[in-house]
Amino acid sequence: MEYYNYLKSLHLIFVITWFAGLFYIVRLFVYQIEASEKSSPEKEILQAQYKIMAYRLWYIITWPSAVLASVFAFWMLFFTDAGHIWLTQSWMHVKLCFVFLLYLYHGKCHQIFKQLQNDEVKYSNNFMRLWNEGATIILFAVVFLVVLKSAINWIFGVIGIILFSVLIMLGFRFYKRIRERK
């Protein structure tokens, strides 16, 4: 069992750094998009700096964290006795569906990263602010599933974060209108 706890600790460390990378990369996307709307030479200076920051974050922190979190998760699930028990439980099946959504989210972030590295701006900064909430919702769902170990009770936590996200976005729109009036 001691061996399992080391694996779980390493898995959690890399999940945390993976999410930190996902949260920050989308914030950098917002900055890159805003920089693309500036005039020269500010535009070129900011874009160059944000590209470097995004590149380092994506390839030095986020991608390695995603890979290592996955390696330790697979190791726990398929090569330990505890993992075989978890795989028989319905909450774990729901959790794995959210993990699959996280991989899709990560893949879409990679696509956006590549576009912005090539100076292709296909999304607005407001879209990116909303997009950033996707990782938050997945994080809440997974944490509630793992802590409560229930395939049903996690719904309340996810509904709560969605409502919280809606309130944040309404506040953002309200603040934007105030800024535009000045």
Q: Based on the number of CB atoms within 10 Å of its own CB, is 111 exposed (0-12), middle (13-18) or buried (19 or more)?
A: exposed
- Note the pLDDT tens digit of each residue in 116-134: 999 999 999 888 988 988 8
**Residue of 65 and 82 predicted with greater confidence:** 65
- Note the pLDDT tens digit of each residue in 123-182: 998 889 889 888 988 998 888 888 888 767 767 767 877 887 788 778 878 877 887 887
Among 149, 162, 53, which Cα is nearest to 95's?
Answer: 149
Query: Is a pLDDT exceeding 80 seen at residue 87?
Result: yes
pLDDT of residue 1: 58
Instruction: Report d(CA 19, CA 127) in Å as an integer.
Output: 19
Question: For residue 41, is the peptide bond before it cis, meaning its omega torsion is within 30 degrees of 0?
Answer: yes
Structure-token pair, residue 153: 């009770």
Among 96, 93, 122, which Cα is nearest to 33's?
Answer: 122
Query: Is a pLDDT exceeding 90 seen at residue 81?
Result: no
The overall average pLDDT reported for the chain is 91
pLDDT of residue 57: 98
Whole-number Cα distances in Å, 117 to 49, 71, 107: 11, 28, 15
Among 142, 143, 116, which Cα is nearest to 26's?
Answer: 116
Show the CA angle centred on residue 158, arms to residues 153 and 160, nearest 5°.
Answer: 105
For a pLDDT cut of 70, what percent of the chain falls above it? Answer: 97
- Note the pLDDT tens digit of each residue in 67-78: 999 999 999 999
Q: Is 41 helix (H, G, I), strand (E, B) or coil?
A: coil
